[in-house]
Structure 1
Amino acid sequence: MRRQLSIAFILSVFAAAVGAQSIDYDPRRAVELRPCDDQRYRGRTEQARTCYMKLLESNTPIVQAEAAWALGDIKRANEIFRNTVQNNERAVQPRVRWARLFLQTHQYSDAAQVFSEALRVFPNDVHAKLGLAGVYAERFEGQARPLVDEALKVDGDLIEAHLLSASMDLEEGKLEDAGKALDRAMRLVSKEKLPPLEVYALRASLEMSRGNSPDQWVERILDYNPRYGAVYEQLAHFEIMRRRYKEATALLRQAVEVQPDLWSAHAELGSNLLRLGNVEEARTHLQAAYSGDPYSPTTVNSLRLLDRIGEFSVSVDPVTIAQDTYEVQLRLHKKEAEVLRPYVLSLTARSIESFTQRYGFKLREPVTVEMYPDHDDFAVRVAALPGIGLLGVTFGYVVAMDSPSGRAPGDFHWGSTLWHEMAHVFTLEATDHHVPRWLSEGISVFEEWRTGPTPGVAVPPETIAALDKKQFLPIAELDSGFIRPSYPNQVQISYMQSGLVCLFIEQRWGFEQLGVLLRQFDGKRSTAAAIEATFKIAPAAFDKEFDTFVRTRFANVLANFSEWQQQQQTARQALQKERWSDVVEPARRAVALYPENVGGDSAHLMLARALDKLNRRPDAIVALEDYRRAGGWDPTALKELARWLDEAGRASDATDVLVSLNYADPLNAELHSQLGERLLTAGRAEEAFREFQALLALNTLDQAPAHFGMARALRELGDQSGSRRHLLDALATAPHYKPAQALLLQMIEERT
C-alpha cells in the first residue's frame, strides 16, 4: 500500500503560503494545532507560521504531519501520514487526513481510494464519508449527496456536512435548501466557537444568487481575516456555474488584490479571461499562477495552449442582417482555416438571422467562434466546467468547439454543434446570463430540431428508457441533472428532456411563449416562479401535463419497448447474414414503433440497405429520406442517398443532399470536387466557387482541377481577370490539362 504524492504536486504546494488548508471541523483534530489554526484563520500569517514551526518537533506524528502541511511542506506531511498508516493498519483518522491531503492537491482518485480504505477499517466513520463526498462534489458526481445524508443521519451536528450540502444546493439553484443548511451550520459554528469564514462566504454566495448584494457578509469576513481572498474566489465560482463570466472576472480580480499569493485565483482568473477572449491578460495571470504553483496541470496546460496560439489564424467579417451589421471573428487553425472559414461564417450568419428574429434580441457585441482540431486543446480551453462528452461550449459572445478534424468523420455534426452553441449566445445574452442551465440547453436542442442543419426530433433510446423508468426530473429540479448526475447518462438525458420541454411548450402554448418564459429570468426569479408567471399553472401541474405530452408522443415505443428491441436485433442479425428479405419487416416495424431513433444502429438505415439489395430502389430512397427528415445525417448514408437520387433522375435533390454534407464532413476533397461540378452545371456559380476554393485549400496532390473549377466559376460570376489567373495556374500545375487548354483557347478567341 505504498502511495506517494507526485513530485509535481509536492513542489507546487511546498512554496504555498500558510492558509492553503480549509477550516477543519473534525472534533478529533489535535488540540495542540488549534492556537496555530486560529492565527491562520485570522490572516496572521507570520504568527501562524511560527506556531506551526514549533509543532514540527511534536512527539505526535499526526501533529507533525498537520504542521508540515500547514507550512506548505507537502513532501514531509505525505511521508509522515504514509508511515503512520503503514505502522497501524487500523488507523482511521490518519487515513482521513492523508486523503484530505490528496484532495487538496487535486489527486482525486488517490483521495477517494484512501477515504474508501478508511471506511473499510471503520464503515461508520462520518468524516471519511464526508471526505469521500467532497471528492464526488469536486467531480460533480451524484454520489456526493447520499454520503452527506448518511453522515447527517449518524450525526446531525456535522458542520462540514451542512456546508457541503449548502454548497451543492447553491450550485443546483436550490436556494431555500441552501439557506436552511447554512442556518444550521451557523448555529453549530457559534455554539462551538469555531471560525465562521466558510459560513459567511456561502452566505455571501447565497445573497448573490438571490440577486442581492453580498457586501455585508464580505465585510464580516474581511473584518475577521483581511487576507481572505477566498471569499471572492468562491463568489466567482458560483458566478461561473451560472455562466456569468464577466461578473466572475471582476470578483477574481478582487480575490488576487486582497490575497496576491492566492495562486488558484490567479489561475481561475486567467482561465476566465480566456473564456472572454482576453488572451494577453489571461496569459499574465496564468504566468503569475505558474510562478507560485508551477506544476498545476490546469495552469500548465493553459499556458501550453497559449504558446500555440500562433498556429491559429484570426479573421473578422461583417455580417449584415436586415438593417443591422454584426461582427463575426473566427479563430481557426491555419492548416484548415481556408477550408472551413466560408462554411463557418455562413452558418454563423444564418444562426444570427434566425435567432434574432425568433427571440427578438439583437447581439450587442462581436461574436467569436473558435475551432480546435486537437480535442485535448479544446478540453483545456473549457477546463473546470461540469459536463461530459462536450463538443462545444459558449462563454457569452465566445463559442469554442471541436473542429471537424478533431474527430473521425461521422462522429459528430459540427454544423449542428455550432447551431446549438449560437443559440446559447442568444439565450445567455438576452437574460444577462440569468437563464437556468436547463432552459438554455433546452432551447439549443429544440433549435437543432426545428431550425438547424439537421432538423428532426431525434431522441436516442437512452432517453426513452429513462422516460419508461420515470427518471425524468421535475421542472424545478431539472438543472441538477446537468450539474450532479445521479445515474449513468443523466446529463445527456437531461439535454433531451429539456429539449422536449421546449417542444411541449411550443405545442401546448405556442412558440412565442417560449420567448416569454426566457425573458422571465432576471436574476431574481426561480424556475418554479417563472413557470407559474408564464403559464399560470403550478410547476407540479406543468410536470403532469409534460409527462402526458411525452408519453403520448412516444406511446408506441413506450408500450412496445421490448418488441422494438427485439425487432432491431432480428433485423440486425439478418443484415449481418445478408438475408435481405428477412431484414425488411422487422426493420420496418422498428421504424414504425420508434422513428426518432436515427443513431448508428437506426432501423431506417437497415431498411434502406435491405430494400436496395432486393432491387427495390424507390422504396430504399423513401427509407433514407424518412431517415434524413427524422434528423439522421450519417455521411455514408447520405452519399448513398445522393447517388440513388441521381440515378432516379433527381439531380437537384441529390445536390442538396451533398451540400448538407459540408456541415458533417467538410474536409472531404472528393465531396468538394463533385459539388463544385454539380453546382456549376446547376447555374449556382457562387456556391460552386466556394467548393472549388475549399478543394484548393485542401492542398491535394493534383491542384489543376481545383484551379480549373475556380476559373470557370469566376467566369460565370463575371470576374474575367480572376478566371484567367486561375486558368493559368491550372496550366502551370498541369501544362497538358486539356480542359484548361480548351477554355484558354476559347477565352483568347473571345478577346480577339
Structure 2
Amino acid sequence: AKPGDIQTLLWRAELFLEKYDPGHAEEVVKEVLTQAPNHPEALVWMAHVKLAQALDFDAATRLVNQALKTNPKLGNAHFVLAGINLRDMELADADQHLDDGLKYNPRDLDLLSLKAAVRFLADDDAGFQKAKRKVLKLNPQYSRMFQIVGEYAEWEHRYDEIVEMMREAIKIDSEDAKAEAQLGLNLIRAGNDQEGLKALNSAFDKDAFNVRVFNTLNLYEKTIRKDYESVQEGQFTFRYYKKEKAILERYIPGLMRDAWKAMVKYYGFTPSQPIGVELYAERQDFAIRTSGLPGTAIQGVCFGKTLASMSPYNETFNVGMTVWHELAHVFHIQMSKSHVPRWFTEGMAEYETIVARPEWQREQDQDLFAALRDDRLPKLGNMNKAFTRAEELSDIATAYYASSQILVMLGEKYGRAKLNKMLELWAAGKRTPEVLKLALGKDSTELDKEFAAFTGKLLARYKTQFMPIRRTGPFEDAEDAAKKDPSNARAQTVYALALLRQGKAKQADSALQAAVKADPKFADAIYLQAQLAMAKRDAGEAKRFLKQLITNGDDGYAVRMLLADIAEATGDAAGMKAELEAASKLDPSMAEPVQALVDLATKSKDAAGELDGLRKLAKLEQHDPRVYRRLMERLLEKKELAEARAAGEAATWADLEGMDTHRVFGEVLLASKMVPRAIFEGQSALLCRGRPKDQAKVHDLLARAYAAVPNAKEAAKHRKLATEVLKKAK
C-alpha cells in the first residue's frame, strides 16, 4: 500500500483497537483526519477510540452523527450508536439504530450480532436464539458474534453466561483466540484459576499479541505464583501478598465473617461459595487482575463470586470499607442473577458501609447539590447514565454518592424487605420500571419527587448561601454562548471560568468585566474577580470583592474559605480562625476548614480546640489515619478511654498496616485494662513496617502489657528488644 493510504491507515487503527491500544489507534485516525477532516469511516473509528479510552459517549455520539451526515448507510456508525444505547439499557433505541443500519445492508453481520445482544439483554431467550441462528446461517463460522454479545454481557455482570458463550464460539471456530481469551479471563473471575489459565495459555499460543492475555499470564506465572499465597477459611478463599499475609489475616477474615453474617441476615439469601477475596499490594497487579491492562484508579471490584481489592501495603486507604462494599456486590449480583442496575448495586453497597460504620460514608453534599442545581444528575429511571455519561472523573464519585442517597431514602421509607424484593424481581427478568412498581408501588416519576423532597432537606443549607458555578461544559460551548449573548452575566462568567482553566487570565478578566457590566451584583462574577485578585497577590482587592458579596447577601462556604486564605496570607491568625469557623458552620460536612482549625489549635496549644476539631474530623475523614491517631492520643491524655477505644476501632481499618496506629490503640487498650487486646495490637504493630525508634516504642508497650499479665519473662524480653533496636539503629 502507498504511504498515507487512507484505507490502509484505517485498517491499522482497527488492528490497534483490536489489540487494546487506543493510543496508537488515535494517532493513526488523526493522520487520516488531517488528510480528510470529514472522512466518515475515520470519524467512526475515532468514536471507537473515544469509547475505548474513556467511554466518552457524548464525544462518540457527536463523531458518529457527523459521519452519518456524509454517509447515512455506514453500518459501523449505527453499530456505535446502538452499542451506546445498550450500555444505557435503552433497548428500543438500540433496536431502532440497528434497523436504520440494516435497511441499507440486511446482511451486516456486526449489526445482526448486536441485534442478538439486544435480545440477550432483554432476557428474550427465544429471540436471542433466533438472532444467533440468523447470523450463523449467513456465516456458520462467525464466532465474533459471541464476542460482541459478550462485551455487553460483561457490562451487566453476566460473567457465567459469558463463559458459556465463549465455549460456544470456540465450538464454531476452534482458532478463535479472542474467544478463548475471554473464556479464560471470565473463568478466572469466577474463581476457576486452573481452567482459566489453561484457556489463556491456549489463546496465547494462537495469538501472542493479545496484551490482556500476555499480562494476565505474566501476573499468574511470575507474580502470583511466587509472591502470593491463597488460604481457604470458611466460606472464603483469601489471596494475600506473602509479605503482608501475617498482618492481613489477623483482621480481614474476621471482618469478612462479620459482613457475611450481617448480609445473610439482611438479604435472607446465601450466595454460592467459596467467595474469593484477593488483596493486591501493587496497583499494576491489581489492574491486570481485574482488566488485563496495567492502569486503573479504582480500589476494588467484584465479579459475582470473586472480589479483588488493593491492599494497604503501598497505599493508605480504608480497606475495611472497601472490602465490605465489594462483598455487598456479591449478594446483589447473585441475588438478582446479574440483572441489578449499576445505580442500585453501587448505592446499596454504599448503604451497607454506612449501616456497618457511620464514618464509612462519603461527604459529597456540595457535589450532589451542584449536580442537581445544574440539572446534571439523571432522573432515577435513567440513573445508570450518571455513571456512563460522566463528563469528568469526579462525576463518577458524585454518581456513587447520589446512588447511596437514593438507597438511604428507599431504605428509610420502604425498608429492607422491599429492597430485597427489587433484587428478586430483577432476577425474575423484570425490567426496572416494573420492578419499581411491583416492589415499591411507585413509578420512577413519583420516586423522583420523593428524592427531590429528601435532598431538599439534606441540602437545605445550600439554598440560603452562595454556591459558586463549578462547571463550564466544553470550552467551545461556553465561548459560543458568551459571543451570542454579550449582555448575559451568567454566560460571560461561565466563559471567564473556562478561560481561567485554560490559563487565559487576561481574557477572563475582560469577560468578567462584561458580566459585571451586565449585572453589577452577579455573585459568581464577583467571586471570580476575588479569585483573580488573589492570583495577582492583591489580598486587599480580593477581600473587598468578598466583603461586597457578603453585603449583597451572597455569603457562603466558598466565600468564607477564600477569606480564610486571605487571612492566612496576611498573617491574621485570629481572622483566619473566625473565617474557618464561619465556613464550617455554613457547611459542617466539609473537612477542610475543620482540619485547618485543628492545625491552628495545635499550633497555639489550644488543647480543647484541638480535641473538639479532631472529634469532628474523625467523622469526616474515614481514610486518614493521622486524624484517628491524634484523636486517640488526646483522648488517652484526658482518660476518656471508651471514646478512645471507638476511635481505635475505626483507625484500624483506615491504617491496617500502620505501626504507630496499632501501637497507640494498644496504649489505649492497656490503659483500659484490656491487656490481651493491647498485646494483640502490639504484636500487630510489630508485623508492620516502621522506623527503629517506633519499633522500640512498640516493644516498650508490650513490655508493660506483659508485666500487667503478669508475664515477667515476656516483659523482660521486650524491654531488652526495645534497647537492642535503638542500639542497632545507632
Alignment partner for residue 117 of structure 2, among 196, 201, 205?
Answer: 205
Q: Which residue of 1 aligns with 2:105?
A: 189
Q: Which residue of 2 aligns with 1:617?
A: 607
Report the Cα offset of residue 615 of structure 1.
Answer: 4.9
Q: Which residue of 2 aligns with 1:560?
A: 466
Alignment coverage as a number of residue pairs:
629
Alignment partner for residue 56 of structure 2, among 107, 127, 141?
Answer: 141
Alignment of 1:475 with 2:383, yes or no, is no
Alignment of 1:640 with 2:617, yes or no, is no
For 1:169 and 1:633, locate their aligned partners in 2 and report how far apart those are by CA, in whole Å: 37
For 2:415 and 2:618, locate their aligned partners in 1 and report how far apart those are by CA, in whole Å: 26
Taking the TM superposition and a 5 Å limit, the aligned residue runs for 1:393-412 are 393-407=301-315, 409=316, 412=317
For 2:364 and 2:627, locate their aligned partners in 1 and report how far apart those are by CA, in whole Å: 19
Structure 2: which amino acid aligns with 1:160? N
Report the Cα offset of residue 96 of structure 1.
Answer: 4.0
For 2:271 and 2:10, locate their aligned partners in 1 and report how far apart those are by CA, in whole Å: 51
Moved more, 380-389 or 140-149: 380-389
Report the Cα offset of residue 724 of structure 1.
Answer: 8.7
Alignment of 1:125 with 2:30, yes or no, is no
Q: CA contact under 8 A between 2:319 and 2:656: conserved in structure 1?
A: no
DSSP-derived class of the 1:393 partner = strand
CA 1:551–1:154 in structure 2 vs 1: closer, same or farther (change >3 Å)? farther
CA 1:633–1:578 in structure 2 vs 1: closer, same or farther (change >3 Å)? farther
Alignment of 1:309 with 2:224, yes or no, is yes
Report the Cα offset of residue 215 of structure 1.
Answer: 1.7
Q: Which residue of 2 aligns with 1:586?
A: 579
Alignment partner for residue 154 of structure 2, among 240, 247, 254?
Answer: 240
Taking the TM superposition and a 5 Å limit, the aligned residue runs for 1:215-230 are 215-230=129-144
Residues 360-406 of structure 1: CA deviation (Å, up to 9, x unaligned): 22233122211111000000011169996210001112110101123
Alignment of 1:496 with 2:401, yes or no, is yes
Structure 2: which amino acid aligns with 1:522? A
For 2:309 and 2:649, locate their aligned partners in 1 and report how far apart those are by CA, in whole Å: 22
Q: CA contact under 8 A between 1:387 and 1:483: conserved in structure 2?
A: no
Moved more, 195-204 or 484-493: 484-493
Alignment of 1:178 with 2:86, yes or no, is no
Alignment of 1:452 with 2:363, yes or no, is no
Moved more, 616-625 or 496-505: 616-625
For 1:223 and 1:178, locate their aligned partners in 2 and report how far apart those are by CA, in whole Å: 23
Q: Which residue of 2 aligns with 1:275?
A: 189
Q: CA contact under 8 A between 1:583 and 1:610: conserved in structure 2?
A: no
Report the Cα offset of residue 130 of structure 1.
Answer: 1.2
Structure 1: which amino acid aligns with 2:466? N
Q: CA contact under 8 A between 2:659 and 2:689: conserved in structure 1?
A: no
For 1:727 and 1:644, locate their aligned partners in 2 and report how far apart those are by CA, in whole Å: 27
Report the Cα offset of residue 158 of structure 1.
Answer: 2.8
Q: Which residue of 2 aligns with 1:465?
A: 370
Query: Mind listing any 5+ residue stretches in structure 1 that lack a counterpart?
Result: 1-60, 62-79, 86-91, 319-326, 738-752
Taking the TM superposition and a 5 Å limit, the aligned residue runs for 1:730-749 are 730=718
For 1:714 and 1:735, locate their aligned partners in 2 and report how far apart those are by CA, in whole Å: 17
Q: CA contact under 8 A between 2:95 and 2:118: conserved in structure 1?
A: yes
Taking the TM superposition and a 5 Å limit, the aligned residue runs for 1:327-338 are 327-338=235-246
Q: Which residue of 2 aligns with 1:362?
A: 270
Alignment partner for residue 665 of structure 2, among 658, 666, 675?
Answer: 675
Taking the TM superposition and a 5 Å limit, the aligned residue runs for 1:88-103 are 95-103=9-17
DSSP-derived class of the 1:521 partner = helix
DSSP-derived class of the 1:489 partner = helix
Alignment partner for residue 563 of structure 2, among 570, 575, 582?
Answer: 570
For 2:104 and 2:164, locate their aligned partners in 1 and report how far apart those are by CA, in whole Å: 33
Bigger RCO of structures 1 and 2 (CA < 8 A, at least 6 apart): 1
For 1:168 and 1:268, locate their aligned partners in 2 and report how far apart those are by CA, in whole Å: 21
DSSP-derived class of the 1:189 partner = coil
For 2:673 and 2:232, locate their aligned partners in 1 and report how far apart those are by CA, in whole Å: 30
Q: Which residue of 2 aligns with 1:9?
A: none
CA 1:731–1:570 in structure 2 vs 1: closer, same or farther (change >3 Å)? closer
Q: CA contact under 8 A between 1:695 and 1:706: conserved in structure 2?
A: yes
Structure 2: which amino acid aligns with 1:449? I
What is the root-mean-square deviation of aligned Cα atoms in Å? Answer: 3.1
For 2:178 and 2:215, locate their aligned partners in 1 and report how far apart those are by CA, in whole Å: 14
Moved more, 533-542 or 657-666: 533-542
Q: CA contact under 8 A between 2:33 and 2:42: conserved in structure 1?
A: yes
Taking the TM superposition and a 5 Å limit, the aligned residue runs for 1:501-520 are 501-520=406-425
Residues 652-685 of structure 1: CA deviation (Å, up to 9, x unaligned): 3223313321111122223323333432342334
Report the Cα offset of residue 93 of structure 1.
Answer: 5.0
CA 1:734–1:488 in structure 2 vs 1: closer, same or farther (change >3 Å)? closer
For 1:418 and 1:576, locate their aligned partners in 2 and report how far apart those are by CA, in whole Å: 42
For 1:422 and 1:440, locate their aligned partners in 2 and report how far apart those are by CA, in whole Å: 11
Q: CA contact under 8 A between 1:163 and 1:181: conserved in structure 2?
A: yes
Alignment of 1:415 with 2:323, yes or no, is no
Residues 700-752 of structure 1: CA deviation (Å, up to 9, x unaligned): 669788688779878989xx9xx799669658968999xxxxxxxxxxxxxxx
Alignment partner for residue 389 of structure 1, among 275, 287, 297?
Answer: 297
Alignment of 1:429 with 2:334, yes or no, is yes
CA 1:492–1:153 in structure 2 vs 1: closer, same or farther (change >3 Å)? farther
> TM-score with structure 1 length normalisation?
0.77
Residues 583-623 of structure 1: CA deviation (Å, up to 9, x unaligned): 2222222222222233xxx2221223334445543343233
Moved more, 428-437 or 666-675: 666-675
Q: Which residue of 2 aligns with 1:542?
A: 447
Alignment partner for residue 657 of structure 1, among 643, 647, 664?
Answer: 647
CA 1:423–1:201 in structure 2 vs 1: closer, same or farther (change >3 Å)? same
Q: CA contact under 8 A between 2:286 and 2:308: conserved in structure 1?
A: yes
Q: Which residue of 1 aligns with 2:204?
A: 290
Q: CA contact under 8 A between 2:230 and 2:239: conserved in structure 1?
A: yes
For 2:202 and 2:433, locate their aligned partners in 1 and report how far apart those are by CA, in whole Å: 43
Moved more, 341-350 or 460-469: 460-469
Alignment of 1:695 with 2:685, yes or no, is yes
Structure 1: which amino acid aligns with 2:425? Q
CA 1:538–1:704 in structure 2 vs 1: closer, same or farther (change >3 Å)? closer
Structure 2: which amino acid aligns with 1:533? L
Moved more, 215-224 or 571-580: 571-580
CA 1:565–1:257 in structure 2 vs 1: closer, same or farther (change >3 Å)? same
Alignment partner for residue 342 of structure 1, among 237, 241, 250?
Answer: 250
Q: Which residue of 2 aligns with 1:33?
A: none
Q: CA contact under 8 A between 2:365 and 2:459: conserved in structure 1?
A: no
Structure 1: which amino acid aligns with 2:67? A
Q: CA contact under 8 A between 1:450 and 1:456: conserved in structure 2?
A: no
Report the Cα offset of residue 282 of structure 1.
Answer: 1.7
Q: CA contact under 8 A between 1:119 and 1:125: conserved in structure 2?
A: yes
Higher helix share: 2
DSSP-derived class of the 2:309 partner = strand
Structure 1: which amino acid aligns with 2:580? A
For 1:158 and 1:685, locate their aligned partners in 2 and report how far apart those are by CA, in whole Å: 74
Q: Which residue of 1 aligns with 2:493?
A: none
DSSP-derived class of the 2:196 partner = helix
CA 1:574–1:269 in structure 2 vs 1: closer, same or farther (change >3 Å)? farther
